[in-house]
Amino acid sequence: MEMKPMAVSHQEGLKKEDAKMSKYVRRSLLLINSAMLGIGNCGGPLIMRLYFVRGGKRIWFSSWLETGGWPFLLIPLAASYFHRRRAKRGGGGDSPDNDTKLFFMKPLVFFACVVIGILTGVDDYLYAYGMARLPVSTSSLIIASQLGFTAFFAFLLVRQKFTSYSINSIFLLTVAAVVLGLHTNGDRPANESKKEYFMGFFLTLAAAALYGLVLPMVELTYKKANQIITYSLVMEMQLVISVFATLFCTIGMLVNKDFEVIPREAREYELGESKYYLVAVFSAFIWQFFFLGSIGVIFYGSSLLAAVIITALLPVTEVLAVFFFQESFKVEKGISLALSLWGFASYFYGEFKASKKSKRTPKPVNPQLHPPLTHV
C-alpha cells in the first residue's frame, strides 16, 4: 500500500525528465534545421547567379537544379533506417511483427506531398527566371515579401495568430519590396531590356507569393496527417516533394530541349566545362539544404518561423552578392534593406513578448505533431 504512491511519483518524475529531454533535443534540432536553411538560403541564390553571370542561359535547367539534388536525401534516410534497425535488434525486437519499416508515409501524406511538389516545381521556374534577370541583392529583397504571403496563407490554412508586432513586420517588409520595385534606374544588367527586367521582378514576386503558400501547406499536412510525425517522415516528405518538383522541371527541360543544349553550353562556359558541371552539382546539393531545412523548421516551429528565418538572412545574402559579383548597392536598396531589418526586429520582439507570456500559461504538447523523439 505504501509502495504505490512512490511508484506513481517515480513515473511522474520520469515523464518530467523525458519532457525536459525532448524539449532540449527539439530545440537543438530546430537550430540544426535553421542552420541548414541558412546555408541553402544564402548559398543557393549565389551559385545560381554564378551560373547565369558566367554564360549559363537555361532557365528550366537552373530550376531543375533547385530540387534535382533529391538523391542526396537517400543518404540520411538510409542512415535513419539502419539506426532504427540496429536499435530494434538491440532491444530484442527480432520477430517478424517488429520488422523495421522502410517508409513511414501513408497515402494521404503522399498525395499532399505530390501536390506540394508540383507547386514547388512551378515556384522553382518562377524563381530561376527572376534570378536570370535580376541581381542577387534585388531578387533577395523581393523575396522578403514572402513573409507577408506566408502570414496571409498561414492565417487561412493553419489559423496562425498575429500580434500588432507581426502585422507591423509584414507591413514593413511589403513596403520594402515596393520601394525596391519603384526604383530600378541603373539596376538592370547589361544588354537587358526594361521589359525583361520588370518581367523578372514580377515573376520573382510571384515566386515569393507561391512559396508563401507552400510553407503553410506543409504545416497543414503535418496537422492533418493521420499518423505520428517523426523526422524520418519529414525527410521522406521532402524526398517526395523534390522528386515531383524535379519531374515537373524535367518536362519543361524536354519541351525546351535543354538536354540537347547543355553539353554545348558547358563547353562555352566562361569558367570551363569541368567547373560548369561542378557548379551544377554544387547548386543541386546546396538547394537541398534550403528545402530540408525549411521543412524541418516548420516541423519543430511553424511555417511563419521558416519565412522569418529566410527574411532574417537577407543582409547576409546582400553583402555576399555585393562582394562576389560586384553588384551595386544604391540608396534605394539601402532603404529597402533598412525596412526589412526593421520588420524583422519587430517580429522577433513580438515573439519574445509572446514567449514570456506563454511561460506563465503552459499548453499541452500535441503528441501527433511533436511525439517523443524515439525515432531518428
CB 66 within 8 A of CB 292: no
As a whole number of angstroms, the distance between CA 211 and CA 130 comes to 14
Q: What angle do CA 320, 324, 330 make, to 5 degrees?
A: 70
pLDDT at 186: 54
Count up the domains in the chain and report the number: 1
As a whole number of angstroms, the distance between CA 102 and CA 119 comes to 27
Question: Which triple of cell numbers denotes residue 351?
Answer: 515573439
Residues 6+ away with beta carbon under 8 Å from 78: none
As a whole number of angstroms, the distance between CA 312 and CA 37 comes to 11
> pLDDT, tens digit, for every residue of 299-311?
888 888 888 888 7
pLDDT at 361: 56
- Alpha-carbon distances, residue 222 vs 236, 256, 361 (angstroms): 13, 36, 25
User: Is residue 15 in some structural domain?
Assistant: no
> pLDDT, tens digit, for every residue of 325-340?
776 666 776 777 787 7
User: Is residue 289 in some structural domain?
Assistant: yes
As a whole number of angstroms, the distance between CA 36 and CA 16 comes to 30
pLDDT at 110: 94
At residue 94, what are phi and psi to the nearest 5 degrees? Answer: -95, 0
Question: Which triple of cell numbers denotes residue 297?
Answer: 523548421
pLDDT at 184: 52
pLDDT at 95: 46
Nearest alpha carbon to residue 162 among 148, 143, 177: 148
As a whole number of angstroms, the distance between CA 4 and CA 24 comes to 30
User: Is residue 288 in some structural domain?
Assistant: yes
Distance of CA 119 to the CA centre of its chain: 14
Note down the domain range covering 328. 28-90+100-359
User: Is residue 293 in some structural domain?
Assistant: yes
> pLDDT, tens digit, for every residue of 260-290?
999 999 999 999 999 999 999 999 999 999 9
- The secondary structure of 149-172 as a DSSP string is HHHHHHHHHH-----HHHHHHHHH
pLDDT at 142: 80
User: Is residue 272 in some structural domain?
Assistant: yes
CB 122 within 8 A of CB 181: no
Burial class (CB in 10 A: 0-12, 13-18, 19+), 59: buried
What residues of the chain score a pLDDT lower than 50? 1-11, 13-19, 21, 94-98, 365, 372-376
User: Is residue 371 in some structural domain?
Assistant: no
As a whole number of angstroms, the distance between CA 52 and CA 50 comes to 5
CB 363 within 8 A of CB 206: no
- Alpha-carbon distances, residue 301 vs 100, 172, 252 (angstroms): 28, 23, 34
Q: Which amino acid would we find at residue 363?
A: K
pLDDT at 340: 74
User: Is residue 210 in some structural domain?
Assistant: yes
User: Is residue 330 in some structural domain?
Assistant: yes
> pLDDT, tens digit, for every residue of 79-123?
888 888 887 776 555 444 446 677 888 899 999 999 999 999 999
